[in-house]
Amino acid sequence: MKRYCLALACCLAAIVAVSCKKKAETGEPPIALVSYIIENRNLPSHKLVASYSGNDASKSVFLVGSPVLCEALRQKILEVDVHDNIDGRLSPDGLPDFAGELVCTVVDFANAPYSAHAGREEALREVAVLDMLVTMDTLCFINEYDRSGVASKPLPKLVVMASPYAAAYGKYDIDTLFKSLGCRLPVVYPLETMLDGVFATKAGSLNIGFITGEESLDSTACEALLKGKAEADKRSGCTGVVFASDLSAPDPLLSFLDSCLLAGKVRPLDAIIVDDPFADAVGMRMTLGRITNPDNPESLSYGKLIAPGCMIIEICESVSDECYRILRKGNLFTHNISLPRSLEFKTAMLSDSTFVLTPFDNGDPLR
């Protein structure tokens, strides 16, 4: 991290003067920081990305983002048991699906909450790239006040960009950096993963509901993401309806559907994306089954808002499923018969604008 932080400080000092010469495949320029790393082969950051490969089962799963989202996703990955650990069948076997894995969280106190950066696209894009780079180096500081005290940290074989803002604004730049330098490291973007799940399951023109949490994208950004996904998939007529999760409601799904009715959003929903880790997705699915049952009186009021085969996709389930799929497909599980473990790190921005990583909660990452 010491060598990385010095290089990163140089990058931050240089980006003001750097012109964006390197183009991504679409022809649009990445942010100046990414261009600077790509174009300067002697930079430690360039060498780090260019030589990096996540194709190593001994490496770890990393979650990067806000304290709330990182903790919710960490707990899900540590505890989930929906697969058989031998053959991968959908059959719980009493052993966590990520048995033997080390799950590392990088809690970005330096920049969270990301929603505070709304309207500052360049800053959000830069934050996402810096968060990604900080996971990929081997060193961290023991604490932010001891510039000579460094320790070794695990390396990622998979990174989850937990913040929807960092993902929505920074994905293009991370993809450009990785593609330009040939980096092989899978990255999961939760909201895009949930949308991909809907598009892979449902054909034609879709109407998708978004139940958002405190750190979710606003309605404009959600709709823009949906529009981009539909255009990339060559689908027309796709629409979205976005309302905040009401955790105090006796029935959160009915509360969401009531909001749709009040706003005149009555096109039947093909899928509902629950982007709030605190929402009761299990309860929502039970409600969905109840209101789509023609023998239930509630179907007269709410059934018309639900398209046949409507599905509910929840953030923690979706991310753990996608992480499992990537590790299984790439043969990246450790296959150690032990409970999964976790380590936590935090980011800090020092007075000289150096971006550093330290153990979180005074823990020792080497113990």
DSSP secondary structure string for all residues of 269-289: EEEEEEE-TTS-HHHHHHHHH
Query: Looking at residue 334, what is its pLDDT?
Result: 92
- Give 59's DSSP letter: S
Give the DSSP per-residue string, 299-330.
Answer: HHHHGGGEEEEEEEEEHHHHHHHHHHHHHHHT
Query: Looking at residue 273, what is its pLDDT?
Result: 98
Rounded CA separation 226/357 (Å):
34
Rounded CA separation 361/285 (Å):
37
Calculate the alpha carbon distances from 292 to 136, 167, 259, 265, 340 in Å: 47, 34, 18, 18, 39
Q: Which amino acid, 320?
A: S
Query: Looking at residue 353, what is its pLDDT?
Result: 66
User: How do 150-152 and 139-141 pair as beta strands?
Assistant: antiparallel
- Please compute, for residue 33, the number of CA atoms within 13 A of its CA located in the half-sphere on the CB side: 24
Three-state SS for 61-127 is EEEEECHHHHHHHHHHHHHCCCCCCCCCCCCCCCCCCCCCCEEEEEECCCCCCHHHHCCCHHHHHHH
Asked if residues 139 and 5 have their Cβ atoms less than 8 Å apart, the reply is no
Query: Looking at residue 142, what is its pLDDT?
Result: 82
Domain annotation for the chain: domains and CATH numbers: 2-188+337-359 (no CATH), 192-315 (3.40.50)
Give the DSSP per-residue string, 330-343.
Answer: TT------S--EEE
- Indicate the helix (H) or strand (E) that contains 258: helix 252-262
Query: Looking at residue 113, what is its pLDDT?
Result: 77
Residue-by-residue pLDDT tens, the chain, 367 positions: 444 443 444 454 444 334 334 444 445 789 999 999 999 999 999 999 999 999 999 999 999 998 899 999 999 999 999 999 888 899 999 999 999 999 999 999 888 777 766 677 888 899 899 999 999 998 888 877 777 777 889 999 999 999 888 888 899 999 999 999 999 999 999 999 999 999 999 999 999 999 999 889 999 999 999 999 999 999 999 999 999 999 999 999 999 999 999 999 999 999 999 999 999 999 999 999 999 999 999 899 999 999 999 999 999 999 999 999 999 999 999 988 899 999 999 998 777 667 788 888 744 444 4
Asked if residues 276 and 213 have their Cβ atoms less than 8 Å apart, the reply is yes
Give the DSSP per-residue string, 134-161.
Answer: HHHSSEEESSTT-TT-EEE---EEEEEE
* Structure-token match 């005290």, residue found: 149
SS3 366: coil
Give the pair of three-digit tokens for residue 134: 């900080």
User: How do 239-244 and 207-212 pair as beta strands?
Assistant: parallel
Strand partners, 63: 105, 160
Rounded CA separation 233/252 (Å):
31
